[in-house]
Amino acid sequence: MKTNITFRHLKTQPELYNAALEAAQSLNKFHDQIISTDVVFKNDNDKTVEFTVRVQGSTLIAKESSDDFYKSLNSASDKIVRQLRKWKTKRMKI
């Protein structure tokens, strides 16, 4: 799985980078055929984290904003896990 981590409007922070990398790698537990994962940190009015996961012809996106990047990262990660589980169960029925 290919993982891209981008920081917009802020400098790269190694702690956030490592946390995002761990979150992206943990997605393999929920689906083993993930092609790529993009994690974008945006520092606009709020601290926003956006996950974009590409899986066999589908793209799943989760976006979360809060006052802290770690809260946003955890919430967005939870959202993408829910989407992966739902996508996987739909594919199993077909």
Domain ranges for the chain: 2-93
State the maximum Cα–Cα separation within the chain, in Å, rounded to a whole number: 45
- Residue 36, both tokens: 């790529």
pTM: 0.90
Asked if residues 58 and 23 have their Cβ atoms less than 8 Å apart, the reply is no
Average pLDDT, 10 consecutive residues per value, the chain (94 residues): 94 94 93 93 94 93 96 96 92 76
- Cβ–Cβ contacts within 10 Å for residue 10, how many? 12
Q: Residue 57: its pLDDT value, please?
A: 85
Quick check: 41 and 20 in contact, CB under 8 A?
A: yes
Return the CATH class of domain 2-93. Answer: alpha beta
